[in-house]
């Protein structure tokens, strides 16, 4: 079968108790000689708790681009999370059940959306209900084969049947395209509603970076009752695209301003001096972003980080302390019935996730994009890969 694969050479593996400053403690391997190819590989055989899927649409995420690019600063790939090579890429995908492997929850031919996080269910984090923080986590498309292939074997617990929203879409192709966006909307849902319960109707949200993840967060905040959504993004095309697609849900203002003083003034003017209840950070961990987020935080506000990296030096925590605010990390979309809630929103026609897709390409074009695109390329919306198997 055909698969889009990332290969690399394992350069060095650090001990698990390593505290090297330039890498997360759980990311113990440095990779080089990265190469992206379309290969013919053996069709997977599902194990007892797995079903065999035939992916049809798989969106390209910033994580895919980071994993495929070498970073001289980290001496490895630009992606700072768990990675095992070689691997079939793709973690945001929808699929058709090719073999239910005797599982009564699914029929062959069912259309499913897939959670990208596979948790062990046995570690302390899982027992506490924090599946996205599993100590033995596996990530589809990063540590085990993902959806940019003709077939993939996936634990059935990670699959969500899209039968309940089938009547919303005019054909199965449209349903499959919409289904490929649930992963990214799930990540945004987790950041907004599952991280210390910081969201409430009437709150003010500031989103830093309006790529696909930022758009998904803005969309969910808008339909859930945010009084004001502030978009901080250097590319005006992204801001305009987001505002057009959110209208008329909520009051949205956007700024491509880079001057911290002017941005601070804009935020306090827009919030009558109160500040921001939730900052959603989807950009690089630069000092300007976190300084602005801390300095404009409202009482009991939260800064939710969805990107990896080292916090900048020289940050002042005075307002964070004064306002009893916090910085919290957010990863994944597993648990909390997140996909179930998203399907309910789609079923009620409140959420139209297909708005996120701005472009559909072939797997050959995906190879070209991943091979040639710069990590800092600014895409509008999400590019979905159509997999013809």
pLDDT of residue 299: 94
pLDDT of residue 249: 59
The tokens of 293 are what?
Answer: 């987020």
Strands 357-362 and 382-386: parallel
Instruction: Give me the chain's average pLDDT, please.
Output: 89
231-275 pLDDT, tens digit each: 999 888 998 898 888 866 567 888 888 888 999 999 999 999 999
Between residues 258 and 200, the one the model is more confident about: 200
93-129 pLDDT, tens digit each: 999 999 999 998 999 999 999 999 999 889 998 998 8
What average pLDDT does this structure show over 150-167? 96
pTM metric for this prediction: 0.93
pLDDT of residue 257: 81
**Cβ-Cβ contacts under 8 Å for 174 (sequence gap 6 or more):** 354
DSSP H or E run through 40: strand 29-40
pLDDT-derived band of residue 377, with 50, 70 and 90 as boundaries? Answer: low
Residue 25 has pLDDT above 50, yes or no: no
- Tell me how far apart the alpha carbons of residues 260 and 286 are, in angstroms, rounded to a whole number: 12
Q: Give the other-Cβ count within 10 Å of 284's Cβ.
A: 14
Residue 337 has pLDDT above 90, yes or no: yes
Residues 266-278: b if buried by 16+ CB within 10 A, e if exposed: bbeebbeeebbbb
> Mind spelling out the 3-state secondary structure of the chain?
CEEEEEEEEEEEECCCCCCCCCCCCCCCEEEEEEEEEEEECCCCCCCCCEEEEEEEEEECCHHHHHHCCEECCCCEECCCCCCCCCEECCCEEEEEEEECCCCCCCCCCCEEEECCEECCCCCHHHHCCCHHHCCCCEEECCCECCCCECCEEEEHHHEEECHHHHHHCCCHHHHHHHHCCHHHHHHHHHHHHCCCCCCCCCCEEEEECCCHHHHHHHHHHHHCCCCEEEEECCCHHHHHHHHHHHCCCCEEEEECCCCHHHHHHHHHHHCCCCCEEEEEECCCCCHHHHHHHHHCEEEEEEEEECCCCCCCCCCCCHHHHHCCCEEEECCCCCCCCHHHHHHHHHHCCCCCHHHHEEEEEEHHHHHHHHHHCCCCCCCCCEEEEECCC
Phi-psi region at 273: left, alpha or beta (left = phi > 0; alpha = psi -120 to 50): left
Listed by start position, the domains of the chain span: 2-184+333-386, 195-329
Residue 282 has pLDDT above 50, yes or no: yes
The domain made up of 2-184+333-386 is a member of CATH 3.40.50.300: no
The percent of residues in the chain predicted with pLDDT above 90, rounded, is 64
pLDDT of residue 341: 97
The domain made up of 195-329 is a member of CATH 3.40.50.720: yes
DSSP secondary structure of 216-258: HHHHHHHHTT-SEEEEE-S-HHHHHHHHHHHTTSSEEEEE---
The tokens of 288 are what?
Answer: 């300007």
Strands 117-118 and 138-139: antiparallel
Q: Are 115 and 158 in contact (CB under 8 A)?
A: yes
The tokens of 19 are what?
Answer: 């505290």
Between residues 23 and 52, the one the model is more confident about: 52
- Tell me how far apart the alpha carbons of residues 165 and 353 are, in angstroms, rounded to a whole number: 12
Residue 388 has pLDDT above 90, yes or no: no
What average pLDDT does this structure show over 343-371? 94
Q: Are 131 and 335 in contact (CB under 8 A)?
A: yes
Q: Which of 338, 380, 361 is nearest to 113 (CA)?
A: 338
pLDDT of residue 342: 98
Indicate the angle between helix axes 182-193 and 338-347, nearest 10 degrees. 110
Residue 370 has pLDDT above 60, yes or no: yes
């Amino acid at each position: 079968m055909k698969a889009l694969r990332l290969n690399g050479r394992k350069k060095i593996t650090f001990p698990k108790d390593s505290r090297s400053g330039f890498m997360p403690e759980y990311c113990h391997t440095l990779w080089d000689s990265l190469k992206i190819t379309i290969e013919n590989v053996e069709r997977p055989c599902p194990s007892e708790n797995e079903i065999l899927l035939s992916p049809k649409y798989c969106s390209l995420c910033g994580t895919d681009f980071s994993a495929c690019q070498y970073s001289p600063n980290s001496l490895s790939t630009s992606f700072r999370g768990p990675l095992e090579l070689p691997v079939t890429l793709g973690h945001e995908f929808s699929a058709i059940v090719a073999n239910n492997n005797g599982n009564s929850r699914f029929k062959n031919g069912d259309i499913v959306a897939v959670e990208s996080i596979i948790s062990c269910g046995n570690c302390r984090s899982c027992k506490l209900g924090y599946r996205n923080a599993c100590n033995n986590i596996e990530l589809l498309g990063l540590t085990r084969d993902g959806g940019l292939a003709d077939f993939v074997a996936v634990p059935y617990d990670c699959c969500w049947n899209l039968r309940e929203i089938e009547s919303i879409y005019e054909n199965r192709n449209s349903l499959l395209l919409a289904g490929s966006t649930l992963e990214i909307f799930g990540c945004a849902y987790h950041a907004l509603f599952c991280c210390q319960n910081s969201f409430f109707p009437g709150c003010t949200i500031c989103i830093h970076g309006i790529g696909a993840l930022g758009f998904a967060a803005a969309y969910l905040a808008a339909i859930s009752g945010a009084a004001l959504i502030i978009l901080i993004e250097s590319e005006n095309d992204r801001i305009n695209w987001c505002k057009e697609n959110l209208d008329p849900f909520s009051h949205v203002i956007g700024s491509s301003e880079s001057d911290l003083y002017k941005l601070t003034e804009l935020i306090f003017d827009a919030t009558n001096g109160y500040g921001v209840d939730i900052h959603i950070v989807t950009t690089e961990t630069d000092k300007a972003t976190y300084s602005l987020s801390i300095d404009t935080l409202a009482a009991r506000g939260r800064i939710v980080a969805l990107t990896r990296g080292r916090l900048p030096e020289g940050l002042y925590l005075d307002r964070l302390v004064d306002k009893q605010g916090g910085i919290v990390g957010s990863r994944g979309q597993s648990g909390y019935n997140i996909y179930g809630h998203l399907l309910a929103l789609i079923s009620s026609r409140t959420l139209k996730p297909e708005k996120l897709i701005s472009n559909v390409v072939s797997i050959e074009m995906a190879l070209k994009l991943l091979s040639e695109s710069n990590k800092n390329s600014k895409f509008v919306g999400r590019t979905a890969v159509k997999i013809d198997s």
